[in-house]
A and B are shown apart, each in its own frame.
Chain A
Amino acid sequence: MASMQTHHEDLKVIVDNTINYFEEVCGTPAECGIPYLMNQEKVLMDYSAIIGISGIRRGALLFTAPRPLIRELVEIITASDSPEEQDLQDMVGEVANTIAGNARPVLGSEFMISVPVIIRGELLGMQLAQPASIVPINWNAHQAFLIIGLE
């Protein structure tokens, strides 16, 4: 049980890191919403990236965000008014990379973190173990989700 609690703490740090990413990169803080369990609903938004986790617990972390959020992020970071599609996709990869990068030292040797895979649209054969926890991330009037599905 103690170890399960520890994992919960680790996962909280991942959520914190994700939240902090927005403040560090854009200067505007993001806010974590009340997490809840994912049912059968479709959660994938316009841009998503999935990070596989194996080791003591298996499953995945999924970051999914609507186009306006990603677009605004790109605009802030690149100071460009008309980002291209590729920039948007790169951006979601960058966010996921940062999440994975920050997760790696936190989760330690008991977890293995994969390189993020960018997903567009529907996710077939989602690797998220069910039921997964959904953490809403609110930023600049947009809402993204960090979904944690571990066995």
Chain B
Amino acid sequence: MDKSPVKGSSGVFRTQIRLLILAAILVQFLVAIFIFARAVQEKEYQNLRDQLTIQGIGFIHELDDLNLSVIHDRELSRGELTGHPLYQESTNRLLEFSEVFSIDPSLLYTMVRSRDGEHDYYFILIGDGTYSLQKDDPFYLSEEVQPYFDLAYETGEIQYPPVYTDSIGKWLTVVLPMKDADGNVYAIHEPVLRVEFVDALVWEAVWNAIQWPLAILLIGLIAISALLNRVFRPFNDIVQLFRKSRAQDDIDMSSIKATGEFEELRKSLSFYIDASRSAKRETQEILQNVQQGLFLLSSDLTIGEIQSTQTRKIFETTKLTGIHFDALLKQFVVPKLHEAIVDFLDLMFSGTIDESTLRDLNPLKEVECHLPLDQGGFVTKHLSFEFYRAQSLANDSELEYVMVTVQDVSEEVRLAEELAQRKEAEQNQMELLMDILKVEPSALNDFFADAQEASDEINVRLRGTKNDDNLHTLVNDIFRLVHSVRGHASMLGLPNIEQASLEFEESLAELRERSELNPRDFLDITFHLEEVSRHLKQLEEITDRLSRFRPQTPQQDITQSLLDTFKSLVKDTAAQLDKEASLDTSDFKAIPLSDTQRRFFREIVIQLLRNAVSHGIELPGEREVSNKSSSGSIRLSSQEISPGQWEVIIRDDGRGIQRERLLEEAQERGLELSNQDRDSDNLLKLMSTPGLSTAENVDISGRGVGMDIINQRVIEMGGSLEVFSDEGHFTEFRITLNQELSLSS
């Protein structure tokens, strides 16, 4: 729009007019100066003539080796000069008054005929009144003969610049060479000349000088003004009108006074402006009210001048005109998408692919944009772009613009996401609910308490550890806690927490392998801890809600429910390993335990049962070879061996502890073993070494931490643990608990 022909031509035209006026004023000024100068001279001459005094006149008749002889020398009175040709204005042929300009004696002769000279002071040559040359005189002025300057200098006492003192007079001899009719050259000693300096009467001169220039200037100005008023002002008004018409609506064509052709022009423009004004108003209405971003892209991908109001709101900026669309996109979409859109727009402009087909490929149909804000920061919006080929009105063949519409669909996307999240959350909660419903409430509460405690303990340990503490110990301790949570979750069938704990364990296992640990490596731990905490929180919310509906479970039911859980754990774990196993709890009697003990006890039994299935019980085929039934049998029994003294036995009929394999691994890990290490007590010690495991399947119990946790928990319960095993036949764990001591403590 800026490049409209109206603005362009009016600009050039205005410049030309200005130059013309300037030139006219300059010419006037120069003419005025010239006239002024002439007038000053004129006035001065006049003054000088009035002040002339003739001091004397001399003649020489012939030039004789430059020896001049004065042939006539006498004083003349002023009256005698009357009618003297030199004294009369513009009549003397020899020395015409008005032509004497030079103030330099050396140039006197030549300057007589020159009109060059700029002087503050003038000197006057006064000639002889008695001698005059007429046209028919035998002497005439010869232009061929050079003047005899030397003579002139003989008496050349005049200095230049002449210092003005009041009426200084100097004698000067001037020789004029002349020829007679026969070609003989004579030097005429011109009248002895009186040179006089006279001050000009400036104020008179100035007045004289400015009369004409003033008149010319005045006339000139009037003429220019008339010209401007009649021609340029209407034209300029019309040009201004064009300009205004782009900026505002309330312009009044009738305010322009024009006549003749300008009036015609004004009418035409008025029509044009009215039409364009109406179109513009409608366009603006559309642009202001359309609820989409709307703009044109030129083929170099710059954004056009006209955009809908919504465009600027959507992009959070007012600076869009002339901006490269790809540069704009670069700020808020990912680079891959940015490349894709540049390619897409190339295709849009190339016109080789059908537009509707191409629109299906639009990479910005719905895109998440992070728009920088002027005041800092950014806002995230979901924008939906559409691109249309805009065929030019002027040129049918070439595509000049692509029209872009953009819509802020953040709200729709947010609602859709929220809906999807809610659905997913509901789905998750439903699954979690189904998982939870299978679990006996007190068991769930126990698990939650355990897990929460473990999580808190991990955080407390992290927080309390200094950089120079043993970080490997910290990792091992955290591992034990996480492992225990995972085992518990697995037993209760809480897959989300089990999975999060497994990932946590994997991360810890990796850290445990490192020879050196850096505090920043523990960031992984906090991130996993966050994850587990989130699941626990979710679980807590549902458990809380459920607890309002579920009745409290009596103690005997708790025991039965626990035993049922153990049984399904054995069955499920075996199934996962393609084994068969069952748990016999017929000899189990309920043990009086505090809440904490019950949680510990559950944890211990879970781990031992899992170990029994994964390490002890063989695969069915293997069992048949050893003449055993294909299904393994695990027995969980308890009895009060003395008042307050309880013994719990977990015994499986599996392959027993493979000592050699355990020892091999211990050796591989650089653990030093003595002969004593080969008896069962030390076997327990060996089995309790952090990181030692012989199970191949890590998903079940092969994290190699089970035994040390079990041992530690038994000790924490105030009990002791023993292991008995006969390779190929059985493994038995015997836990002795001193309940009297434990409960009282």
Contacts and interface: CB of A to CB of B under 8 A. Distances in A.
B370 A55 contact: yes
B104 interface: no
Contacts of B463: 34, 36
Contact of A115 (B336, B370, B376): B376
A34 B378 contact: no
A54 B523 contact: no
Contacts of B529: 37, 131
Interface string B456-498: 0001001101110001001000000000000000000000000
Interface in A80-99: none
B503 interface: yes
B335 interface: yes
Interface of A: 1, 4, 8, 11-12, 15-16, 31-37, 39, 52, 54-55, 109-110, 112, 114-115, 117, 131-135
Contacts of A36: 459, 462-463, 526
A32 B334 contact: no
B459 A37 contact: yes
Contacts of A115: 376-377
Given A36-B526, A37-B533, A54-B370, A31 B467 contact: yes
Contacts of A1: 503
B377 A131 contact: no
A58 B141 CA distance: 112
A32 to B, nearest CB: 5
Which among A15, A31, A133 has the highest number of chain B CB atoms within 10 Å?
A133
A16 B520 contact: yes
Contacts of B343: none
A8 B533 contact: no
B522 interface: yes
A102 to B, nearest CB: 15
Interface string B281-315: 00000000000000000000000000000000000
B335 A12 contact: no
B220 interface: no
B526 A54 contact: no
B377 A117 contact: yes
B198 to A, nearest CB: 80
Given A12-B523, A33-B467, A37-B526, 8 more contacts: A31-B467, A33-B466, A35-B526, A52-B377, A54-B378, A110-B334, A112-B378, A135-B520
Given A36-B459, A37-B530, A15 B380 contact: no
Nearest to B518: A32
Given A8-B524, A16-B520, A35-B526, A109 B377 contact: no
Contact of B380 (A39, A54, A109, A131): A54
A46 B380 CA distance: 30
Contacts of A34: 462-463, 465-467, 471, 474, 519, 522
Contacts, number: 79
Interface residues of B toward A: which range?
Answer: 20 to 34
Contacts of B376: 114-115, 117
A39 to B, nearest CB: 7
Contact of A131 (B336, B466, B519, B530): B530
B131 interface: no
A121 B230 CA distance: 74
Contacts of B467: 31, 33-34
B214 to A, nearest CB: 68
A8 B503 CA distance: 13
A1 B524 CA distance: 13
B340 to A, nearest CB: 13
Interface string B438-470: 000000000000000000000100110111000
A115 B378 CA distance: 8
B520 A15 contact: yes
Which among B336, B466, B520, B525 has the highest number of chain A CB atoms within 10 Å?
B520
B503 A112 contact: no
Contacts of B533: 37, 131
B527 interface: yes
Contact of B377 (A35, A37, A114): A114
Given A1-B503, A54-B370, A54-B378, A133 B519 contact: no
Interface string B514-556: 0000111011111101100110000000000000000000000
B370 A112 contact: yes
Contacts of B522: 34-35
A135 B527 CA distance: 12
